[in-house]
Structure 1
Amino acid sequence: MIRNNRTLKLELWERFKHQCAYCGTKLYEPLMADVAHFFPKSKYPAFQEDTDNLLIACKACNMIKRDQFPLDDNGQPLLLNPVNEIFSKHIKQSKNGYLEGLTERGHATIEVLQLNRSSLIEQRILDIIDMQFADDRSLSEHDVYMTFKSSMLNAIKLNNAQLQIDGILQIQMTYMLYANVITSLETYLCDRFISLIQGSQASLRSFVENFKDYNQEKFSLSELFIKHEEIESKAIKSMKSVLYHDLPKVSGMYRDTFGIIFPIFSDVYKSVLIRHDLVHRAGKTKNGDFHQLNPESVKEVVKNCSDLVEQLENELKDCT
């Protein structure tokens, strides 16, 4: 019997690395995802509760696929199964973001799932641009730190300036500044981590050996050298995909990779939860009440985040 839907969805969301198994769209929260059946329930009821038939999909792909399930002349599925098949053997991506089928099954998968829909092509192009930018610019540890410091200074300046505006606008400005401080911290935690990995084989190896998402990675011996050449770029891509507001996970990454004591983050984590309400609930708590924030709240979150960064920088001195 399948576990309760919420637990199952979370497990699949983690297993597929917070991405749609079909199109690769990033699913930042489980609410953005559907539990999907590769073999449609309507045609293969015997597989309905088979966990090997379950995957995570974005709502668009799940709606597009529905119960479409073309078969070849031998009665075998034409669609590629994300659970146990490698798409790159059947599909390639062009430099303009389009997917091209290399095999009959690749063509069928692209057509049935509409993997060349405009929103996906646009995202692929943005990813290509982002990767080219990353390749051309190594992260400077000093720049990462100073960017965060500058963001905190600007937040304080704007916080002081907002005292001149009316009450309703002040509340909105406070919400925006509060959320931006947490976003700046997330950016720092991501960029600082990557800056320490780049150019350090020891740190890269430590990350790969300890990052739990890699525990299930399997490949043939013939792929060994290819995988080795791609390991740093793949690792950096994995680092960028981490949700850096998940401080328990992030603290474990820093601890396991660099052997440091991550600063106590309980006060900052409270602010992370508040930021979630500001962004996703228009400032309301789960109970429907608005968060009571003011300019002093912004000063407090700036101080707590700045203290965490300073303590982390002190711990990281021996890693640079």
Structure 2
Amino acid sequence: MMLMDISFSCECGERIKETVYVPAPNFMAEQNKDSASQHYEEISCKSCEKEHEVLVVNTFSAADCYVISDGDSNVIFGMPYFPESDYDKNELAWLIQSETQIDIFQNHIKSVEKILESDIDEEAYFSLLVMLYGHVVAAVEAYLSSTFIQKVTNSEELTRKLIETDPTFSKMKFTLKEIFEEQEKLKVTVATYLKSLIFHKLDKVKTLYENVLDCEFGDISWLFKAVIIRHHCVHRAGYDQENNKIELSVETLRELVTRAKDLTSLIESKLHPTSLTEFDLSF
């Protein structure tokens, strides 16, 4: 469940500050324009008791808030966030501090390659391929997400670049007091936002890497296709929407693994050009 802090002025002059629920976008949508989810909420002014109807709209790219009962009321709202727990704080701290993204990815891939060499009963092999396919795509997504978060949150220059180029941040409104408050927790705010991004929406990921890290992926049409197949693997156990069995083979998995390794090697060579180890090169 995501929340968002908002504030706006009532007709009586009272400044209303509340926390509202932010609905998840429509994950089944193929395009941003179709991903909007809406949530209506009634907020009462403590001074005059007037009821205000608030509308929260969330899409893949951004969340917006409006007071629809008062026409053009100016709403100041912050970044959507998940209620923090100790687990959330520890995970965010790990994402910000960890520099082991490529090692984790490589370990996942090595495990997949070993499993593909195993002697598995033919009848059970399709189920194994379904699980491995989803695992490889998830490993790529996790690498892209954690690498971007670690790189950006540990650089003031890159954080500024993200804030200036990403429409979600440019739409946010803060009071002068809130600007200083946000400045103190900016790294966590950025990490929280990036963690909540749908990283298998590759058009968004590709744009972020290009605009912020100056890292171009080249042709990743194979990965767009892989994400669709992964959806069939995860949500329908290897069958498409027409209930047809998807085509998977050891060769399909090996090709996916090769492309995934090539992509991560490309990114590592651009982000860490002087730190490639012998292990990295032999991978």
Q: TM-score, normalised by structure 1?
A: 0.63
Q: Is the 8 A contact 1:145 1:188 kept in 2?
A: yes
Secondary structure at the counterpart of residue 287 of structure 1: coil
1:23 to 21, 24, 36: 21
Aligned residues with identical type, % of pairs: 22
The 1:88/1:221 distance shift into structure 2, 3 A limit, reads: closer
Q: What residue is the counterpart of 2:197 in the other structure?
A: 242
Q: How does 1:220-259 map to 2 (within 5 A)?
A: 220-259=175-214
- Mapped to 2, the partners of 1:319 and 1:26 lie a distance apart of 40
Q: What residue is the counterpart of 1:158 in the other structure?
A: 115
Q: Is the 8 A contact 2:96 2:149 kept in 1?
A: no
Q: Residue 262 of structure 1 aligns to which amino acid in structure 2? A: F
Q: What residue is the counterpart of 1:204 in the other structure?
A: 159
Extract unaligned runs of 5+ from structure 1: 1-15, 32-53, 90-122
Secondary structure at the counterpart of residue 23 of structure 1: strand
- Segment of structure 1 superposing worse, 257-266 or 152-161: 257-266
Of structures 1 and 2, the one with the larger relative CO (CA 8 A, separation 6+) is 2
Q: What residue is the counterpart of 1:56 in the other structure?
A: 38
Q: How does 1:1-320 map to 2 (within 5 A)?
A: 22-24=20-22, 26-27=24-25, 29-30=27-28, 56-57=38-39, 76-77=50-51, 82=56, 83-84=65-66, 124=83, 127-135=85-93, 138-141=96-99, 143-161=100-118, 164-317=119-272
Q: Is the 8 A contact 1:263 1:308 kept in 2?
A: no
Deviations along 1:56-110, one digit per CA (max 9) or x if unpaired, are 24xxxx8xx8xx9989895622776652478999xxxxxxxxxxxxxxxxxxxxx
Secondary structure at the counterpart of residue 279 of structure 1: helix
Shift of 1:313: 1.4
The 1:264/1:282 distance shift into structure 2, 3 A limit, reads: same
The 1:56/1:149 distance shift into structure 2, 3 A limit, reads: same
The 1:312/1:72 distance shift into structure 2, 3 A limit, reads: closer
Shift of 1:203: 0.9
Q: Residue 157 of structure 1 aligns to which amino acid in structure 2? A: K
- Mapped to 1, the partners of 2:267 and 2:94 lie a distance apart of 27
Shift of 1:254: 0.5
Q: Which has the higher strand share?
A: 2
Shift of 1:297: 1.5
- Mapped to 2, the partners of 1:223 and 1:72 lie a distance apart of 22
Task: Give RMSD over aligned pairs.
Answer: 3.4
Q: Residue 90 of structure 2 aligns to which amino acid in structure 1? A: Q
- Mapped to 2, the partners of 1:245 and 1:184 lie a distance apart of 11
The 1:69/1:260 distance shift into structure 2, 3 A limit, reads: closer
The 1:76/1:257 distance shift into structure 2, 3 A limit, reads: same
- Mapped to 2, the partners of 1:259 and 1:211 lie a distance apart of 14
Shift of 1:300: 1.3
The 1:299/1:279 distance shift into structure 2, 3 A limit, reads: same
Q: Which has the higher helix share?
A: 1
Shift of 1:319: 10
- Mapped to 2, the partners of 1:204 and 1:245 lie a distance apart of 22
Extract unaligned runs of 5+ from structure 2: 5-18, 30-35, 57-64, 68-74, 276-283
Secondary structure at the counterpart of residue 233 of structure 1: helix
Q: Is the 8 A contact 1:171 1:293 kept in 2?
A: yes
Q: Is the 8 A contact 2:109 2:257 kept in 1?
A: yes
Q: Residue 23 of structure 1 aligns to which amino acid in structure 2? A: Y
- Count of residue pairs the alignment pairs up: 235
The 1:271/1:88 distance shift into structure 2, 3 A limit, reads: closer
Deviations along 1:117-150, one digit per CA (max 9) or x if unpaired, are xxxxxx846x441213433674333x11011011
Shift of 1:209: 0.9
